[in-house]
Amino acid sequence: MAGAQRSDKQTACHVSEKEKDEALIVRIKNGDYSAFEELVRKYQARVYSHGLKFLNSKEDAEDILQETFLQVHKSLDKFRGEAAFSTWLLKIATNNCLMRLRKRKKMIAVSIDKPIEFNGSKLTREIVDWSKNPSLQYSNDEIRMVLDNTIAKLPEDKRAVLILKDVEGYSNIEISQMMGMTVAAVKSRLHRARIFVRDELSVYFEGALEHTKTGSVK
Amino acid sequence: MKCQEILEKLSEYIDKEVDPSLCDEIERHIEDCEPCVAFINTLRRTVELFGGVKHVTPEIPPDVSDKLNAFLKEKIIRNP
Ligand SMILES: [Zn+2]
């Protein structure tokens, strides 16, 4: 017993986030409300900004925040610790965001499953390389607006994958766990979503750059 | 490889998730295919634009945090 305690102390300096969260969760399950408050303090900003990115509304993000943590407290017994707590938490938050999007219903989903405009082996339009355009920064309000509007047009599964991967930086595996889909399905949605956004940005930049001849295609 | 086949792999390519042999094939193709290069550059730039917010630590306004704590206390402790 004493030996076990000593070894706990030795590893205490190297406790991973996962282990810290698990320790908090044990305390919460034993009825320690202050442990729950600690968990909320740790993750509230992440859940709030997640909601903001999905829903573009402070009010909705605040609702999602409250719903999500209440749900976390209620269903903590279902958390088995296979994935990290943060993954499980973000899965709940993402589901809540998606439900809210569905409720809004006014969202215009556009089809982006068609292959883009390569006709057989021939490229049927010019590809303008606007990647070096100096106005192209996220801090640029106009670009930001174009991006936000474009994301809003994406069907919800593709929007979710794009935000989780390219905005929030989760791995394909984490996203597959959050969304309940295979890694291949995550990759395919991500690719369609990125191409859609790229195309929208291209429309925005049309005329902003001189069209360069793109040469022959294979 | 044709442009269309390259295109299908570009997200994995810019994420560095394609296997080395495919990576070589893509790089050989784009050596003399300007449209594909332009497409890659712009797709990569698109992804980078979203990444622009990734490094910002998420923040929560203090009043939102206060309301959250009050809400949870109310629901969990006062009215379980
Ligand atoms: Zn090509």
List pLDDT tens digits, range A152-173: 888 888 999 999 999 888 899 9
List pLDDT tens digits, range B51-76: 755 556 778 999 999 999 999 999 99
pLDDT in the model for residue A34: 96
Residue A109 lies in a domain: no
Please state the domain count of chain A: 2
A162 has a chain B CB within 8 A of its CB: yes
List pLDDT tens digits, range B2-25: 898 999 999 999 999 999 999 999
Please state the domain count of chain B: 1
Separation of A112 CA from ligand 1 center, angstroms?
21
pLDDT higher than 60, residue A40:
yes
Q: What domain range is B51 assigned to? A: 3-78
Give the model's confidence band at B1: pLDDT under 50 very low, under 70 low, under 90 confident, else very high: confident
> CB atoms < 10 A from the CB of B28, how many?
11
The more confidently predicted of residues A41 and A16 is: A41
- Computed from CA positions of residues A138, A142, A145, A150, in that sequence, does the dihedral angle turn out positive or negative? negative
pLDDT in the model for residue A151: 87
Taking CA atoms, A170 is separated from A1, A115, A147, A212, B55, in Å, by 40, 26, 19, 36, 12
pLDDT in the model for residue A13: 63
Give the model's confidence band at A9: pLDDT under 50 very low, under 70 low, under 90 confident, else very high: very low
Q: What is the CATH number of the domain that holds A17?
A: 1.10.1740.10
Distance from CA of B16 to the nearest CA of A (A): 13
Separation of A154 CA from ligand 1 center, angstroms?
26
pLDDT in the model for residue A130: 87
Q: What domain range is A82 assigned to? A: 2-104
Q: What is the CATH number of the domain that holds A200?
A: 1.10.10.10
Query: Same domain, yes or no, for A98 and A121?
Result: no
Q: What is the mean pLDDT of residues A160-188?
A: 92
What is the distance between the alpha carbons of residues A192 and A160, in angstroms, rounded to a whole number? 12
* Interchain contact, B45 vs A131, CB within 8 Å: yes
Query: Same domain, yes or no, for A182 and A140?
Result: yes
Measured between beta carbons, which residues in chain B are less than 8 angstroms from residue A132? 41
Residue A26 lies in a domain: yes
pLDDT in the model for residue A196: 93
Q: Whole-model pTM?
A: 0.76
pLDDT in the model for residue A137: 65
Which DSSP string do the residues of A62-112 spell out, in sequence order?
HHHHHHHHHHHHHHGGG--SSS-HHHHHHHHHHHHHHHHHHHH--------
Q: What is the mean pLDDT of residues A48-59?
A: 89
Query: Same domain, yes or no, for A66 and A124?
Result: no
The average confidence (pLDDT) of chain A is 80
Query: Same domain, yes or no, for A134 and A184?
Result: yes
List pLDDT tens digits, range A106-149: 544 444 444 454 433 334 456 888 888 777 765 677 888 888 88
List pLDDT tens digits, range A55-91: 888 999 999 999 999 999 999 998 988 888 999 999 9
Separation of B14 CA from ligand 1 center, angstroms?
15
